[in-house]
């Protein structure tokens, strides 16, 4: 009986991931970070150029730069599959001329329901 209780207590885990961006693209391809609902999710994002990242669904925005990796840190309350996109600071993107190119997914966060 006690065993069952202790397993339930550690069910919400802390999940850590690494994402490395080179010229705005994920160095190891577009990965899917799979977690369970209510997990704490930590993604460290290193980059060779300044970038703003946006986790859709949760609507979290974080900044990353070469000297200061981005740290995405949230509790996975909502289940589903959410794209993490990069918002380019390229002038063409700001004018809305290259919207799809400046807003591609660099990773996905998949939150599986309990
Ligand atoms: Cu976005």
The model's pLDDT over 39-92, given as tens digits with 9 standing for 90+, comes to: 999 999 999 999 999 999 999 999 999 999 999 999 999 999 999 998 865 555
Among 86, 16, 17, 82, residue whose Cα is nearest residue 49: 86
CA distance linking residue 54 with residue 72, whole number of Å = 10
pTM of the model: 0.79
Kindly list the protein residues that place their beta carbon closer than 5 angstroms to ligand 1, a single-atom ion: 54, 85
Q: Which residue has the higher pLDDT, 25 or 92?
A: 25
CA distance linking residue 97 with residue 111, whole number of Å = 33
In the reported structure, the alpha carbon of residue 60 is separated from the centroid of ligand 1 by a whole-number distance in angstroms of 9
Among 107, 111, 59, residue whose Cα is nearest residue 86: 107
**What pLDDT shows up at residue 99?**
43
In the reported structure, the alpha carbon of residue 88 is separated from the centroid of ligand 1 by a whole-number distance in angstroms of 10
Domains of the chain by start residue, with CATH: 13-112 (2.60.40.420)
């Amino acid at each position: 009986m006690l065993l069952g209780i202790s397993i339930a207590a550690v069910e919400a885990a802390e999940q850590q991931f690494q994402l490395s961006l080179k010229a705005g693209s994920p160095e190891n391809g577009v990965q899917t970070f799979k977690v369970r609902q209510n997990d704490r999710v930590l993604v460290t994002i290193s980059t060779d150029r300044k970038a703003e990242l946006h986790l859709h669904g949760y609507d979290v925005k974080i900044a990353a730069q070469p000297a200061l990796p981005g740290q995405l840190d949230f509790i996975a309350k909502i289940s589903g599959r959410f794209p993490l996109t990069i918002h380019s600071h390229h002038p063409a993107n700001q004018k809305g001329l290259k919207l799809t190119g400046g807003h591609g997914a660099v990773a996905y966060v998949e939150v599986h329901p309990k």
